[in-house]
């Protein structure tokens, strides 16, 4: 499967626990984007990463959220001390370049539910 792979597809956590969401970009893509979709809303940009670098994290909440894209392995979106309001679908997208004039290719998302 050459598409963007996200896992897990569903993740259930209790309040206060940590959530780790993984994203493997399409083959040949070195630019990764994370989005969050709340119920009945569109996708909200969170963070843009290249290998080993965070390029733009302007959409990321200042606390509890972090992202990385190591030299080897998938990109990770980490949410510490989760709260009910973190329940959402989290989508990862990738592109071959970081130019704004190319489509991003999306994974099927991770649905995070906080009990």
Smaller CB distance to other proteins: residue 54 or 76? 54
DSSP state of 90: E
Site of interaction with other proteins (CB under 8 A): 4, 6, 33, 35, 40-45, 48, 55-56, 58-59, 91, 93, 98-101, 103-109
CA pair distance 32, 18, nearest whole angstrom: 22
Give min distance, CB of 81 to other proteins, in A: 27
Give min distance, CB of 54 to other proteins, in A: 11
Give min distance, CB of 87 to other proteins, in A: 16
CA pair distance 3, 22, nearest whole angstrom: 14
Smaller CB distance to other proteins: residue 13 or 105? 105
Question: What's the farthest any 2 CA atoms get from each other in the chain?
Answer: 40
Dihedral sign, CA of 61, 24, 10, 20? negative
Q: Under 8 Å CB-to-CB from 24, ≥6 apart: which residues?
A: 4, 5, 6, 74, 75
Smaller CB distance to other proteins: residue 80 or 97? 97
Smaller CB distance to other proteins: residue 58 or 84? 58
Give min distance, CB of 43 to other proteins, in A: 4
């Amino acid at each position: 499967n050459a598409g963007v792979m996200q896992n897990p597809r569903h993740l259930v956590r209790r309040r206060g626990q940590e959530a780790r969401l993984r994203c493997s970009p399409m083959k040949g893509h070195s630019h990764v984007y994370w989005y969050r979709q709340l119920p009945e809303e569109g996708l909200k940009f969170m963070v843009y990463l290249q290998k080993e670098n965070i390029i733009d994290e302007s959409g990321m909440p200042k606390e509890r959220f972090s992202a990385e894209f190591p030299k080897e392995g998938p990109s990770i979106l980490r949410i510490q001390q989760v709260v009910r309001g973190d329940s959402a679908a989290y989508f990862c997208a990738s592109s071959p370049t970081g130019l704004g004039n190319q489509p991003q290719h999306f994974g099927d998302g991770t649905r995070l539910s906080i009990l």
